[in-house]
Chain A
């Protein structure tokens, strides 16, 4: 089946630094990737939709200058949390929609970010 990887799986950083998270579709082409954020015991909240070769579409309330998204190829999207603060600590999950199966999203394993 379709596999999505995320790197890193865990990251601890100091306040004020930037963190880049990679999301890769390993065995399929993903024209669209999604970035979610999940707080403990909460549901997934869509942050942005990333389309290959174009600008990401951000959900209301998500700062595009703080959460930079790049989708340079059909298999890779990156999320950069700029000038991270403790309140940015969360579980970030990406998902990818396969070009040939637009109805299904495959989720990556997630990245746990802790900002000290």
Chain B
């Protein structure tokens, strides 16, 4: 079945360092979404990417969708302690299909 792989599983950074998490699908995706889940919290929608090669920015966060629509990345510039949490990518094969979540990347930031 369709799988969404996400790496790394864990990332420990010093505050101020950059962070990147990568998401890869075994099949072409209709769209990909990114979520952030704080410890003890629930996933919060960050962004959706739909177009091939799309790049979107939210302040220090940069999201990319690959040309083949099979991979995506989330890059955080100059991490802050407030960035701590688990970042999940989730893709759909059809435009209104179910989300298939990656396993997430848990980010910890040392002050």
Interface residues of A (CB under 8 A from B): 34, 41-46, 49, 93, 97, 102-110
Q: Give chain A residues whose Cβ lies under 8 Å from the Cβ of B45.
A: 104-107
Contact at B48–A103, with CB atoms within 8 Å? yes
The total of chain B residues at the interface (CB under 8 A) is 21
Q: Which residue of A lies closest to B43 (CB)?
A: A107
Give 12 CB contacts A-B under 8 Å: A43-B88, A43-B103, A43-B104, A46-B100, A46-B101, A49-B98, A103-B95, A103-B96, A104-B45, A105-B99, A106-B45, A107-B35
CB contacts (< 8 Å) of B50 on chain A: these are: 103
A105 vs B45: C-alpha distance in the bound complex, in angstroms? Answer: 8
Residue on B nearest A2 in the bound complex, by CB: B45
- Docked CA distance A109–B40 (Å): 9
Q: Is B111 engaged at the interface, CB distance under 8 Å to the other chain?
A: no
For chain B, residues 26 to 56, give those with C-beta under 8 angstroms from any C-beta of chain A.
31, 33, 35, 41-45, 48, 50
Contact A107 B44 (CB under 8 A): yes
A43-B102 contact given A107-B42, A107-B43, CB 8 Å threshold: yes
Chain B residues with Cβ below 8 Å from A44 are 43, 88, 101
CA gap between A45 and B99 in the complex, in Å: 10
Kindly list chain B residues whose C-beta atoms are within 8 Å of the C-beta of A106. 45
A108, B98: Cβ atoms under 8 Å?
no
Q: Which residues of B sit under 8 angstroms from A43, Cβ to Cβ?
A: 88, 101-104
